Amino acid sequence: SYDLTQPPSVSVSPGQTAIITCSGHKLGDKYSYWYQQKPGQSPVLVIYEDIRRPSGISERLSGSNSGNTATLTISGTQAMDEADYYCQAWDSNTAVFGGGTRLTV
């Protein structure tokens, strides 16, 4: 089965840049997606097809995907960005989520 690996936690000071990675075999050959989940809330899609932002998502969030690693970058991190972030990809008709990364600001 296909696995996506994320760091369990990332900590960043307000105003700094947060980088959350997601690793999987030849992940760069697939589309990656990122979801934000705040406590007690449903997940929200924040990045799709590696780099695209849905309407209403802050420009401070950006994505990239190459080789074996997809990356979610949050610039000028704010307290409101504190949340769990999950990467996701498809492999062989199966959707796979990473284990999630808790971002602490």
Partner 1 sequence: EVQLLESGGGLVQPGGSLRLSCAASGFTFNTYAMTWVRQAPGKGLEWVSTISGSGSNTYFADSVKGRFTISRDNSKNTLHLQMNNLRAEDTAVYYCAKGDTVTENWFGPWGQGTLVTVSS
Q: How many CB atoms lie within 10 A of CB 78?
A: 12
Structure tokens at 48: 């799709």
Site for partner 1 in 16-35 (CB under 8 A): 31, 33, 35
Closest approach of Cβ 80 to partner 1, in Å?
19
Tokens 């990332």 correspond to 10
Contact status, residue 87 vs residue 99, Cβ threshold 8 Å: no
Identify the residue among 27, 62, 72, 98 touching partner 1 (CB under 8 A).
Answer: 98
Distance in angstroms (rounded) separating the CA atoms of residues 8 and 1: 21
Site string for partner 1, 57-96 (x = CB under 8 A): ---------------------------x-x-x-x--xxxx
CA 96 to CA 77: how far, in whole Å?
27
CB nearer partner 1, residue 15 or residue 41: 41
**Residues interacting with partner 1, by CB under 8 A?**
1, 31, 33, 35, 37, 42-45, 48-49, 54, 84, 86, 88, 90, 93-100
